[in-house]
Amino acid sequence: MKTHFGYKNVESSDKENLVRDVFDSVASKYDVMNDLMSFGIHRLWKSFALKQSCTKLGDKVLDVAGGTGDLAIGFTKRVGETGEVILSDINNAMLQEGRNRLINSGVCNVPLVQANAENMPFCDNYFDCVSVGFGLRNVTDKQQALNSMYKIIKPGGRLLILEFSHPIVPGFDKLYDAYSFHVIPKIGKLVTHDEDSYRYLAESIRKHPDQDKLKQMILDAGFKKCTYNNLTGGIVAIHLGYK
């Protein structure tokens, strides 16, 4: 069966390794590149997502594809000592960067789990909130991942997806395309010596379902009352679904 890796059609069985190679390459400079590519705005997007999560003291939270731990660190402050935050990612290099980031932030109580989002190794009906920050578009079978997340969220719990999406401001898409395909790969080449990985990341955004399609996929997984908020003209969207 075929799937997409950026604009390339590849065997579904090959995509996981291809994505792993991308993040193995960029892991050590991932946070620096996020700041450069977004002019630091990604911090505001993540801060807003944390507020939208409505997490509270004592909640159990799983951050899927959590990378270097930005959201996980934020969640620990919200759930407090009586809560629980777990950081998972399929990529070991990213998890190690996350581990270092957590320790440097004084956070030592977040377990790290290397796991595939399509088959989460956690108990059913366990988490109050499962979040995915800028990681769903890299998953081979997104619907299967959403189904897997639904199982491990407890009734009354919620799914939060923060992801690049599709601009909704007329004309903004052309400017965004020019920046994504001509500027970001060059920044990637300069900072990480890897232009191709950042070209893939730009392409993966264009192949990701738009806001309404992703909303329907979340509903198809069994979630109710799915809503989304567009940020920065639709460059990023936050989807919330409830079990």
Q: What is the mean pLDDT of the chain?
A: 92
Which pLDDT value is given to residue 6?
Answer: 75
What are 241's strand-pairing partners? 159
Cα separation, 4 vs 203, in Å, equals: 10
Cα separation, 95 vs 89, in Å, equals: 6
DSSP state of 170: T
> Do residues 189 and 122 lie in contact, with contact meaning Cβ atoms separated by under 8 Å?
no
Give the CA dihedral 160, 162, 163, 165, nearest 10 degrees. Answer: 90
Q: 190-201, pLDDT tens digit by residue?
A: 888 888 888 988
pLDDT category at 22 given cuts 50, 70, 90 is confident
Question: Is 80 exceeded by the pLDDT of residue 9?
Answer: no
Which pLDDT value is given to residue 194?
Answer: 84
Domains and CATH numbers, the chain: 2-242 (3.40.50.150)
Percent with pLDDT over 90 in the chain = 66
Q: 43-96, pLDDT tens digit by residue?
A: 999 999 999 999 999 999 999 999 889 999 999 999 999 999 999 999 999 999
pTM above 0.75, yes or no: yes
Which pLDDT value is given to residue 202?
Answer: 87
Give me the half-sphere count of Cα atoms (radius 13 Å) on the Cβ side of residue 156.
Answer: 5
SS3 64: strand
Output phi, psi for 192, to 5 deg: -110, -5
Residue 128 burial class via C-beta count within 10 angstroms: exposed 0-12, middle 13-18, buried 19 and up: buried
More reliable by pLDDT, 158 or 108: 158
